[in-house]
């Protein structure tokens, strides 16, 4: 309790479109940007299309989220990385040390 969260990753093949809808509903209630770095990477292009049609990508953009290409993103650990020493909350099942 009381731990500052620096970065949040919602993505990987283990997520489903409902996770992004839930995040969008929460973010829609926030005025302005959020005080953390938010990464979003839906598992498929179909999800991106559906979320765009439903207006969630507009909400994500207004909140300042970093919208990644569909797929692995941070879960794979070979693309962009979180900041060194960050406290991260992630939906990925691959939360190994130094993975993100």
Q: Count of CB atoms within 10 A of residue 80's CB?
A: 10
Number of structural domains found in the chain: 1
Residue 100 lies in a domain: no
Asked if residue 11 is part of any domain, the answer here is yes
**51, 68 Cβ separation under 8 angstroms:** no
pTM (2 decimals)? 0.85
Q: Using one digit for the tens of pLDDT, what is the confidence trace for 42-81?
A: 999 999 999 999 999 999 999 999 998 887 777 666 667 7
The answer to whether residue 83 is domain-embedded is yes
Give the domain CATH number at 42. 3.30.499.10
Q: Does residue 99 lie in a domain region?
A: no
Find the domain containing 67 and state its range: 7-90
Residue 98 lies in a domain: no
Give mean pLDDT, residues 15-44. 92
Q: Whole-angstrom Cα distance, residue 58 to residue 53?
A: 10
Q: Is residue 16 part of a domain?
A: yes
């Amino acid at each position: 309790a009381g731990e500052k969260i620096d970065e949040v990753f919602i993505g990987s093949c283990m997520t489903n479109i409902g996770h992004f809808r839930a995040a969008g509903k929460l973010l829609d209630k926030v005025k302005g940007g959020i005080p953390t770095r938010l990464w979003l990477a839906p598992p498929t292009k179909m999800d991106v299309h559906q979320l765009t049609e439903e207006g969630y990508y507009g909400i994500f953009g207004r909140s300042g989220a970093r919208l990644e290409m569909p797929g692995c993103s941070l879960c794979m650990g070979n693309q962009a990385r979180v900041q060194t020493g960050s406290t991260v909350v992630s939906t990925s099942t691959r939360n190994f040390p130094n993975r993100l």
